[in-house]
Structure 1
Amino acid sequence: MSSHTPKEYDLVVLGATGYTGKYVAEYVTSHLPTTLKWAVAGRSETKLSSLVDELRTLNPDRMAPGIEVANLSPDDLDNLVRKTYILINTVGPYHLYSSPVVEACAQNGTHYLDVTGEAPWVLDMIQKHHSTAQSSSAIIIPEIGIESAPSDLLTWSLATLIRQKCGTGITSTNATVYEMNSRPSGGTLATILTTFDSYSPRQVASANSGRWASSPVPPPPPPSKSSSSYVSSLARIFRRIIGVRTLPHLGLVIPSPGAGPNVNIVQRSWGLQDRGAYYGPRFSYHEYASVRNRLVGWLVHTAIMLGALSLVFPPVRWLAKKLVFAPGQGVSREDAARDRMEFWAVATADEGEGGRAGRSGSPGRRLRGFGSRGGCIT
């Protein structure tokens, strides 16, 4: 832990009365050890008290969580984070409200988790608070929700598996969202629609470009490319426009709309794991979404591109805000219970790095992971 001084709580859920925060609080109540000392935090004591009453019915054996009333002022946040070892923050859009939360945790040595997918904001937080968090021993982990935990955990699992089986790192790693049945909450939609209010299109594009901006060490050298003909260059341009391609073992795919923040997090994990040595010095990661056929792939890809482009214009964002879930709202519990996401990935062992794969002189091994379990074939 970051401090030897005993804390009042092991865990605090900030924003616990919101749509996502309530799910987090319910999960803690139903699944984590009953000896856990924890609290729910937010601005309204009345709402927090009602939430605690609901939580008591889920697990009568668990001691009720504490109630911490806190605004997003520096004094309130400092007082809150000093009471706990770990803070789970569900107050979004994060770029509007949660910068002082990260700052307070970094300064006070409190470990921090959130469920954002706001790549420009995450880069801001890294640049502003990484050194402070290092000094205070605070562990700051953004994006532990649908963005970007599946991508990050799956890549780490494959790298670990290949280290164990082949004694080497990995090079190209391709992942695809093979199946997804999920609808975003109002908070997620508000985040998407307000990002362009706080960041320019150039900043958003740069943060989601996958150019190793979040890595703490310089990126691996780009793979050498053989001289390409005019025809092959045209083929690459055509593929970018159409969006559909075929990958070995993964089938037909298009660029994933969530790839930007996910790639950034995976690349940062690469740099944090022994300065890139664990994943390997020639590592790369790419993320896609599976499609049934080329026509569907082209239609979906085109719709995503046009939709993303339209958000640059303020009138479009204003109209969209009127038509979608408001912050704090989301799909019903019945619909949420049917949410499903399945990731597939293929990683190639780096036979040039050394270890068994390199010494054998055999072709690099490809291992395929299913979900986050990291099962494989060789």
Structure 2
Amino acid sequence: MKRIVIVTGFTGKYVAKYLQSHPQRSGPTPFTFAIAGRSQGKLAEVKSELGLGNEVGLLVVDVEDYASVEAAVTQTKVVVNTVGPFWTYGDNVVRACANNGVHYVDLAGEPHFVKAMIEKYDYQAHKNNALLIPCCGFDSVPADVVVYLANKTAKSALGPSACIEDSISLYRLKGGVSGGTLASVISSIEDVPKALITKAMKDYSYREPKGAPTKPARMIYSVPVNGKTWYGVVYPMCPINRLVVHHTWSLFKRSRDQRPEKVYGDNFAYNEIIATPRFYEAVLHLLGLSIFIASLLFSPTRWILKRLLPKSGKGPKPDGFFKITNISHAGSSQIKTVISADGEPGYFGTARMISEAGLALALDFDKLPYKQAGGAGILTPMAALGDVYIERLKQYYGLHVESEVVSGEEGRKRR
């Protein structure tokens, strides 16, 4: 049995390449993996192109045929699904994992898909002790991690009753937009009923209990950090990332009596911006973002975008970086948390993030904190994997982490 099966899209190639050279491949807890796709011939080409060893298996799978998916899923311990749009191609894979007690991670940045999967398969996954974790790429791992760390620092430095409330993440990054991401966005506009999207995009839509409503968005934000003011506009993926952070809030909140140290504040509010040191640059970002969104909403301009922007299977160059600075408040104290990593985040970073999530499930399952969030089911990266996952990201991906109280009665305390 292969411990990990990668359902291969374009990002799946990077996942396979990363796993092939992973230090734990031949360590004291070695793992095996296979790649899955529609065509035996194309899978063989991918295997040859990436230089994968003979021990890497090939599984012919049609994700639109449930029997085909289930036959593959039952041969593994963890499924890493990189094939989108997930609304179109994801249901059978989630269903098979939930029914057969197989763990699962994906790259879905589609709230309507995530909500539908929770409603359809969360109980079955919980019953079969399967951990199903969507959104394990750059959307939305960093957002979930940075808020989790801010809350952990607040409780460590200020006491277990301290809770973070206002929280904003400043994104600075160099990367590009992938064709697969654009395909998912366009699919959401063209293929998904608007009522489902509206329902899924509401605050705390994934699960009870529900927290405080999100504050109205501003056109331009200004955020002081260490005596310097940063300006920005709403990060385009903020609504999707915020739903994952809200989901973590709900999972921890519902088990409050057992694990109060995990709980964020009752008035917790989260936001994200693209940060720049200059006001005029924020204005230019706002203008560009407004034009792009407007172009997506109208059929003629969307037709043009489909032909100008990268096709599915195309992506940015590997060089790049991301740095996310989160400022959260706990009472009169301010917590600053910074996470960063080198490399283009959308594909190359995402491949590492989802790989380490899969490896945490395959190799470190007995150490995972998922029971503290109510048990198995459809969870979030932090609720399911917690500190185990963060340590893996630091050790193998090269994630840099800093978190400290920077103002308030307690002074500066590092975590």
Q: 1:63 to 1:163 in 2, by over 3 A?
A: farther
Answer yes or no: is the 8 Å Cα contact 1:154–1:374 preserved in 2. no
For the residues of structure 2 that align with 1:101 and 1:197, how far apart are their CA atoms? 23
Over aligned residue pairs, what C-alpha RMSD do you find?
Answer: 2.2
Residue 260 of structure 1 aligns with an amino acid whose one-letter code is: P
Tell me the CA shift for residue 375 of structure 1.
2.3
1:1-378 matches, within 5 Å, as: 8-15=1-8, 18-34=9-25, 35-56=30-51, 64-72=55-63, 73-167=65-159, 168-177=162-171, 179-201=172-194, 203-209=196-202, 211-214=203-206, 216-221=207-212, 240=218, 243-249=219-225, 251-275=230-254, 277=260, 278=262, 279-331=264-316, 335-336=317-318, 338-349=319-330, 351=331, 364-371=332-339, 373-376=401-404, 377=406, 378=412
- Tell me the secondary structure at the aligned position of residue 375 of structure 1: strand
Q: TM-score, normalised by structure 1?
A: 0.81
- Tell me the secondary structure at the aligned position of residue 147 of structure 1: coil
Match of 1:4 in 2: none
- Tell me the secondary structure at the aligned position of residue 144 of structure 2: helix
- Which runs of 5 or more structure 2 residues have no equivalent in the other structure? 341-400, 407-411
Q: 1:145 to 1:221 in 2, by over 3 A?
A: closer
Match of 1:360 in 2: none
Residues 108-131 of structure 1 show CA distances to partners (whole Å, capped at 9, x for unaligned) of: 111111112112221222222212
- Tell me the secondary structure at the aligned position of residue 88 of structure 1: strand
Residue 62 of structure 2 aligns with an amino acid whose one-letter code is: N
For the residues of structure 2 that align with 1:322 and 1:222, how far apart are their CA atoms? 38
Residue 148 of structure 1 aligns with an amino acid whose one-letter code is: S
Residue 47 of structure 2 aligns with an amino acid whose one-letter code is: V
- Tell me the secondary structure at the aligned position of residue 12 of structure 2: helix
- Tell me the secondary structure at the aligned position of residue 137 of structure 1: coil
Residue 403 of structure 2 aligns with an amino acid whose one-letter code is: G
- Tell me the secondary structure at the aligned position of residue 47 of structure 1: helix
For the residues of structure 2 that align with 1:90 and 1:258, how far apart are their CA atoms? 18
Tell me the CA shift for residue 344 of structure 1.
0.5
Tell me the CA shift for residue 170 of structure 1.
1.2
For the residues of structure 1 that align with 2:249 and 2:81, how far apart are their CA atoms? 24
For the residues of structure 2 that align with 1:32 and 1:63, how far apart are their CA atoms? 18
Tell me the CA shift for residue 185 of structure 1.
1.7
Q: 1:47 to 1:342 in 2, by over 3 A?
A: same
Tell me the CA shift for residue 94 of structure 1.
1.1
- Tell me the secondary structure at the aligned position of residue 247 of structure 1: strand
For the residues of structure 1 that align with 2:402 and 2:190, how far apart are their CA atoms? 39
Residue 346 of structure 1 aligns with an amino acid whose one-letter code is: I
| More moved, 120-129 vs 83-92 | 120-129
Answer yes or no: is the 8 Å Cα contact 2:212–2:268 preserved in 1. no
Answer yes or no: is the 8 Å Cα contact 2:230–2:278 preserved in 1. no
For the residues of structure 1 that align with 2:87 and 2:23, how far apart are their CA atoms? 29
Tell me the CA shift for residue 221 of structure 1.
4.3
Residue 30 of structure 1 aligns with an amino acid whose one-letter code is: S
Tell me the CA shift for residue 200 of structure 1.
4.1
For the residues of structure 2 that align with 1:63 and 1:36, how far apart are their CA atoms? 14
Tell me the CA shift for residue 290 of structure 1.
0.5
Answer yes or no: is the 8 Å Cα contact 1:119–1:260 preserved in 2. no
Match of 2:409 in 1: none
Answer yes or no: is the 8 Å Cα contact 2:230–2:277 preserved in 1. no
Q: 1:148 to 1:296 in 2, by over 3 A?
A: same
Q: 1:200 to 1:309 in 2, by over 3 A?
A: farther
Residues 107-155 of structure 1 show CA distances to partners (whole Å, capped at 9, x for unaligned) of: 1111111112112221222222212211121111111111101101111
Tell me the CA shift for residue 310 of structure 1.
3.0
Tell me the CA shift for residue 312 of structure 1.
2.2
How many corresponding residue pairs?
A: 330
- Which runs of 5 or more structure 1 residues have no equivalent in the other structure? 1-7, 226-235, 352-363
Q: 1:272 to 1:32 in 2, by over 3 A?
A: farther
Tell me the CA shift for residue 296 of structure 1.
2.3
Compare CA radii of gyration and give the structure with the larger one.
1
For the residues of structure 2 that align with 1:187 and 1:102, how far apart are their CA atoms? 19
Tell me the CA shift for residue 70 of structure 1.
0.9
Answer yes or no: is the 8 Å Cα contact 2:212–2:269 preserved in 1. no
- Tell me the secondary structure at the aligned position of residue 371 of structure 1: strand
- Tell me the secondary structure at the aligned position of residue 257 of structure 1: coil
Task: Give the share of equivalent positions with the same residue, in percent.
Answer: 28
- Tell me the secondary structure at the aligned position of residue 165 of structure 2: strand
Match of 2:345 in 1: none
Residue 200 of structure 2 aligns with an amino acid whose one-letter code is: A
